[in-house]
Amino acid sequence: MEQEKNTTALNEQVLQQEILESNEALTLDLSNLSLAEILQKFIQMVEADDKTDLLKYGESYKAAFYKVLNENKEQGESNEDSVSDEEVTFKEFYAQYKELKQKNSQEQEKAKEENYLLKLKVIEELKALLDSTEDLNTTIPAFRELQTRWKSIDMVPQSKVKELWDTYQHCVEKFYDYIKINNEFRDLDFKKNLEAKTLLCEKAEALEQEGNIVIAFKELQKLHQEWKELGPVAKEHRESIWDRFKSVTSVINKKHQSFFEKLKGEQKNNLEAKILICEQAEQIASVFPDESSEWNTLSKQMEDLQEKWKTIGFAAKKDNQKIYDRFREACDKFYNSKREYYANFKNVMQDNLKRKEQLCEQAEALINSEDWKKATDQLINLQKLWKEVGPVARKQSDIVWKRFRAACDYFFERKSAHFGKVDEGYGNNLKAKQDLIAEIKNYKLSDSKEDNTLAMREFQNRWNEIGFVPFADKEKVQQEFNAAMDAHFADIRSLDSEKKLNKFKKMVMEVKNSSKGSRGLKAEREKLMNKYRKIEQDIATFENNIGFFSKSKGADALISDVRRKVAIAKEELIHIEEKIQIIDKQFE
């Protein structure tokens, strides 16, 4: 009996501690409620007469409220002022809840102390009963009344549970073992206690089938409390009945422990995943692009991280708020920078629009001029100034560009028509350009890249020296020249491309095997990506500038040269993509 008593008391301390821990893990599921619904339900609980639900779920409502509030802010779905009002209202009622919770905690501690004194009084009366000389007809009812009073008294301070229980159990056992009670009464009492403890064992064993281990564990604690309040059984049954109850307790305790160990593992993995997302978000937030398209790309990347964050569960309680604050800080830094960029960019684009409108007015003033040389020089200068002006708003960009282009085209078409009537040498120029095209097509590439490049440059110079051709043949002969030159340039670059790629592969392996390792490869990849974006911008500029070139002498050659630069740049993009793929393969 002494062994059973000591084991029960010790087991009780462990189980009560696990109850506290498991209660922290139990929260109320409010994920399907909106911000307004959470606030309304919380206010109803604060104002309700019965504060039981408020004290039990108050912290769950706080966590749910700020989770939805932060998500709304991230997604931009809430009006900032409205959200602020809801948050202020929530804080006011949360302060009432905290005050009530503190008061309730103080009242509970006071009640526990009072319960402790009441149980001490029961023990003192029980001791006095043991020393009583009254007959059994008086002693036994008094003993039963003391047992009933003991069971009716609620919780006492945790630090005094074991000592108090040991003393009470000692007095109870002394009553059974040393008071001269008749065997019939004792056997009957032992039998009733055995039946009650057997029923508790059966209930505990049924909990093994409970799917929710947290619920099973809590129910087991209630059974232990009932076990503790029952009296002893016959000596021949004491060890076996306790072993049975202890055995099922051990099984449920192990499941409970395994559940929380698994939960800790998941929380650790969640924390690691969120740290990685934070690092990626911080990297994005550290970039300050100069182009709107790059901001759009980074915004998409940040939105993807935010969506990924929502798919990851909670980290441990001590880490969860810290890691969220870190991610929130990175997001705020990025979006603040983006807002600042667009605030400044809007003013800049407005100034650019005014400057381009002024250039349109100046170009329109020249469209009917017959001072061909002077007007041509002025329009070419206006085109140069146009290229120096930055971008304007998208809805205005096409309008102002068409206006400027129309003025330039009108003048140069007049000029082309004028000089087409007076220049009898256009036909000779056409023949000279056709002969040069045939010569280019018959050119055989050598093994020397330098010789080939020099030959192509010479062809280009000779083409530029030839004057205008008839307007009807202008576009066709230019296309033939471009095709002949592009074919040779493609072959030249193809000869050199494989050598460069092999050299690059060797360099990648050297970096990978060096002390820089993956970090060095990532840095090289970032350089290539920056170069890729720069070439894309150059191509856009080249293609845009083609429309600016006049149709005066030398314009065809200039347009041809720019188109060749575009083709070379596009091939360079392909080579950069191949290099990036070589690096990416090292991470597979």
Rounded to 5, what percent of the chain is helix, strand, coil? Answer: 85, 0, 15
Tell me, rounded to whole angstroms, the distance of Cα 21 from its chain centroid: 29
Q: According to the model, what pLDDT value does residue 199 have?
A: 92
Are 492 and 452 within 8 A, CB to CB? Answer: yes
Name the residue type at position 546.
I
Tokens 């604690």 belong to residue? 221
Q: According to the model, what pLDDT value does residue 381 have?
A: 92
Give Rg (Cα) of the chain: 44
Tell me, rounded to whole angstroms, the distance of Cα 162 from its chain centroid: 49
- Give the C-alpha separation, 259 to 48, whole Å: 36
Q: According to the model, what pLDDT value does residue 201 have?
A: 92
Burial 174-209 (b: 16+ CB within 10 A, else e): ebeeeeebeeeeeeebbeebbeebeebbeebeebee
Q: Which of 527, 535, 558 is nearest to 545 (CA)?
A: 558
Are 345 and 300 within 8 A, CB to CB? Answer: no
Are 34 and 77 within 8 A, CB to CB? Answer: no
Kindly report the CA angle at 270 between 268 and 274, in degrees rounded to 5?
120
Q: According to the model, what pLDDT value does residue 10 have?
A: 39
79 burial type by CB count under 10 A (0-12 exposed, 13-18 middle, 19+ buried): exposed
Q: According to the model, what pLDDT value does residue 101 have?
A: 87
Token code pair at residue 400? 């102002």
- Give the C-alpha separation, 51 to 537, whole Å: 65
| Three-state DSSP string of 407-460 | HHHHHHHHHHHHHHHHCCCHHHHHHHHHHHHHHHHHCCCCCCHHHHHHHHHHHH
**pLDDT tens-place values along the chain, 588 residues long:** 443 444 444 344 434 434 443 444 345 678 788 888 888 888 888 888 888 888 888 888 888 888 888 888 777 655 555 556 888 888 888 898 888 888 888 888 888 888 989 988 988 888 887 777 566 667 778 888 888 888 888 888 888 888 888 888 888 887 776 555 555 667 788 888 888 989 989 888 888 888 888 888 888 888 898 888 887 888 888 889 899 889 989 998 988 888 888 888 888 888 889 899 898 988 888 887 877 778 788 888 888 988 888 888 887 877 888 888 888 888 998 888 888 777 776 777 788 888 888 889 998 898 888 888 898 999 899 889 888 887 777 788 888 898 889 989 988 888 877 776 656 677 788 888 889 889 888 888 777 777 777 888 888 888 888 888 887 788 888 888 888 887 776 666 666 666 677 777 788 788 778 877 778 888 888 888 888 888 888 888 877 776 665 544 456 666 777 777 787 888 788 888 888 888 888 776
Spatial CB neighbours of 571, under 8 Å, sequence gap ≥ 6: 490, 493
* CB count in 10 Å sphere of residue 283: 12
Q: Which of 277, 405, 395 is nearest to 329 (CA)?
A: 277
Are 61 and 42 within 8 A, CB to CB? Answer: yes
Q: According to the model, what pLDDT value does residue 37 have?
A: 86
Q: According to the model, what pLDDT value does residue 492 have?
A: 66
Cα separations in angstroms, 346 against 333, 337, 389, 402, 542: 20, 14, 14, 22, 25
- Give the C-alpha separation, 51 to 162, whole Å: 31
Q: What is the pTM of this model?
A: 0.34
CA dihedral 272, 276, 277, 281 (to 10 degrees): 140
